[in-house]
Amino acid sequence: MNDERVLNSDRHYIELLKEYPVHKILDIGGGGEGIIGKLYGSNVVAIDIRKNELEECQNESLKIVMDASNMQFLGDSFDTVTSFYSLMYMTQKTQEKVIAEIYRVLKPGGIFEIWDFEIPRYDGALKDIFVANLQIKLEGFAETINVGYGVLMDDLGQKENVITQFATEKGFKPFDREYESGHFNLKFEKN
């Protein structure tokens, strides 16, 4: 990747604890590093639109190639749905569809948790690729995972308040929010 084109975030530290009881968790965009699948193992159903992302994933999750904007699961199927730095790879229109689908497949009272980053709008300058740099510590694992998630910037960028708006318009009730240096962690409950 041409470094002249890259706008890097500061490195952000995340510690993930096993917060959810043992049940099936749907992880949107769960390929690549497969962070949620590493933490929860075979309790995770990881979907990703890209087969190669799922193939490189090193965890015990059930991996399914699927478009999150048109999921093939029955309604009210999952207790928890996660999105770990996945929404940043979607257009706003796609994000809206995906959040509606998540609402459909999540059981009443279920939790939808998002970790992601605010991405600046592309201003026409040389730097047109944004990279969110992370250092991730998982409960029960000795190693720390260092990763950068990169995406081509567009004229809309990504804002936490827009994602929250999409979720509340679909019927989700926000109940927890953490925000630090552009990184955000949001939790919603299905009413």
| Domains defined along the chain, listed by start | 19-118+158-190 (3.40.50.150)
**Please, is 15 exposed, middle or buried when counting C-beta atoms within 10 Å of its C-beta (0-12, 13-18, 19+)?**
exposed
pTM beyond 0.85: the answer is yes
Per-residue model confidence as pLDDT tens digits over 49-104: 999 999 999 999 999 999 999 999 999 999 999 999 999 999 999 999 999 999 99
Per-residue model confidence as pLDDT tens digits over 93-104: 999 999 999 999
User: Number of helices and strands (H, E) in the chain?
Assistant: 4, 11
